[in-house]
Amino acid sequence: MIFNAENILLIGSILLFVSIVVSKTGYRFGIPTLLVFLLVGMLFGSDGLGLQFHDAGEAQFIGMMALSIILFSGGMDTKYSDIKPVLPQGILLSTFGVLLTTIFTGFFIYWISGFSNVSITMSLMTAMLLAATMSSTDSASVFNILRSQSMNLKHNLRPMLELESGSNDPMAYMLTIVLIQFITSAGMGADDILISFLIQFAVGGASGFLLGKLAVVIINKIDLKNQSLYPILLLSFIFFTFTMTDLCKGNGYLAVYIAGMMVGNARIVNRKEIATFMNGMTWLFQIIMFLSLGLLVNPHEMLSIAIPATLIGIFMIVLARPLSVLLCLLPFKKMNISSRLFISWVGLRGAVPIIFATYPVVADVPELKKLISEFGKIGSNLNQIAKYFNQGGIHSQEMRAAINQCITELYEMKYKVTKMAGNFHGDTETHSE
């Protein structure tokens, strides 16, 4: 089945209903709720019941909206009094921790790609790009686990983990964008990279602070007669903050998280109604995001990369994440080893890496445009050959040689496209005559 205007509401309602019902069963067996939503999407996808959803751009758009709301809601629930004792640790983990995870994982991916029995081949910078997309912990997963399970963690571990997960997405996003620019351009100098990072952090932080304060003032002063409009007004501020920050070359994800903190730690009217609305919207968009990402994934395409993907996952869990955490927390001598190990283990990955992985796919890559043009030329040649045979043309050795040459060129360019896209496997159809 293909999505269209006539059946999208029916399909959407069924997906939401099934996800909520199944999540109840998953909760009984200790299965993470968000993982259930992802599995439901895969079940209804092209390898399951046949729903066709292969647009990485649309998935990216859905993820952008969802993350904006999730991060803002997480910021609203983050109290200054809770994060103040762990602010240095949280900042280090969300910045240098992400960078170290990217470096360690990137070198590991590049190392294993050199083995003949591994189905990936990529350059060092492409390996770093793939690692960057996976380097941040998933805020939706961390918030969901820590809050739904009502964990009573000691030594300020909960606010530290929530601060890290809420603020490390901007770092991973910036690493991803910078590496895409480096790969697709003639290269960026160290000064250009540093300036880009500083601008994103400075503009993102400043706009989040100012627009968050502005949202508080407007909500308290506007005096709406219909109280139901206050949450909707705040929702508009979330998207406005993200988009305006992005237009100003800042980091929108950092901005919405800080704006959420400004609103959550201020006195605002109708706080209870706003909190209830935001909680509902957060759950709705989490479900939609994980469902769409589940639909985007084709399980059969994972078989060819199962071995390297498993190796990378094990490396990140066992070595990259713990080593990054331990190095970042070295200056804090008072923190005991059990707390350090717990933090290193709570490196949950979820929707964020999948969303960030769509950025290289939908990036405007000049080399990819050139290859698409070449594909068009070869396709035109094959059409001319087919037309010749359909009109009664005679088979010849020259014609066979021309066909074989076209096929060879197609396979060569398929390899180049796969390599440039970071070994991304989209919705492809193979036709053989």
Residue 1 covered by a domain: no
- Considering the domain architecture, whether residues 220 and 347 belong to the same structural domain is answered as yes
406: helix, strand or coil: helix
Instruction: Return the structure tokens found at 81.
Output: 């009094």
**Are the C-beta atoms of 245 and 199 separated by less than 8 Å?**
no
- Do residue 398 and residue 327 come from a single domain? no
Question: Domain end: 341, 364, 387, which one?
Answer: 364
Question: In this structure, are 390 and 267 located in the same domain?
Answer: no
In angstroms, the CA 371 to CA 374 distance is: 5
Assess whether 143 and 72 both reside in one domain: yes
Instruction: Examine the domain organization and report whether 121 and 218 are in the same domain.
Output: yes
pLDDT value at residue 350: 65
Please state the domain count of the chain. Answer: 2
Local structure of residue 330 (DSSP, 8 states): T
Distance, CA of 19 to CA of 234 (rounded, Å): 27
**Buried-state track 365-393, b at ≥16 Cβ within 10 A, e below 16:** beebeebeeeeeeeeeeeeeeeeeeeeee
For residues 290 and 202, state if they share a domain: yes
β-pair partners for 298: none
Same domain, 315 and 201: yes
* Coil/strand/helix, residue 7: coil
CB–CB of 1/50 below 8 Å? yes
Q: Is residue 14 part of a domain?
A: no
63 located within any domain: yes
Q: What are the angstrom distances between the C-alpha of 276 and each of 76, 281, 309?
A: 12, 9, 39
In a domain, 380, yes or no: yes
Per this entry, what is the length of the chain?
A: 433
pLDDT at 132: 87
Judged on CB neighbours under 10 Å (0-12, 13-18, 19+), 107 is middle
Distance in angstroms (rounded) separating the CA atoms of residues 384 and 390: 10
**What pTM, to 2 d.p., does this model score?**
0.73
Answer yes or no: do 334 and 290 share one domain: yes
Half-sphere exposure of 411 (CA within 13 A, CB side): 7
Residues 6+ apart with CB under 8 A from 240: 211
* φ, ψ dihedrals at 52, nearest 5°: -100, 110
Per the CB < 8 A criterion, the answer to whether 127 and 113 are in contact is: yes
Structure tokens belonging to residue 13: 């309602």
Backbone angles phi, psi at 204, to 5 degrees: -60, -45
pLDDT given at position 423: 41
CATH code of residue 318: 1.20.1530.20
Name the token pair of 115.
């083995």
Question: What domain range is 391 assigned to?
Answer: 368-420
Write the CB contacts of 69 (distance below 8 Å, at least 6 apart in sequence): 235, 238, 278, 281, 282, 285
Both 330 and 373 in a single domain? no
Q: Does a structural domain hold residue 46?
A: no
The answer to whether residues 354 and 401 belong to one domain is: no
Are 105 and 145 part of one and the same domain? Answer: yes
Q: Which tokens hold the place of 190?
A: 């160290």
Rg over alpha carbons for the chain, rounded to the nearest Å, is: 24
- Within a domain: residue 44? no
> Looking at the domain assignment, is residue 36 inside a domain?
no
**Residue 48 lies inside a defined structural domain of this protein:** no
Same domain membership, residue 224 and residue 280: yes
DSSP assignment letter at 52: B
Do residues 182 and 188 touch, judged by C-beta distance below 8 A? yes
Q: What is the pLDDT along the chain (433 residues), one digit of tens a residue?
A: 555 666 777 877 888 888 888 877 766 766 667 778 888 888 887 767 777 777 777 777 888 888 888 889 888 888 888 788 888 888 888 888 889 999 999 999 888 887 756 666 777 888 888 888 888 877 666 766 666 555 567 777 777 887 787 778 778 888 888 888 777 765 566 677 778 778 888 898 899 999 999 999 999 998 888 888 999 999 999 999 999 998 988 888 889 989 999 998 888 888 888 888 988 888 888 888 888 878 877 777 777 777 888 888 889 888 988 999 999 888 888 888 888 888 888 767 766 777 777 776 666 544 444 444 444 455 555 555 555 555 556 556 666 666 666 666 665 665 555 555 444 434 444 444 4
Using an 8 Å Cβ cutoff, are 63 and 293 in contact? yes
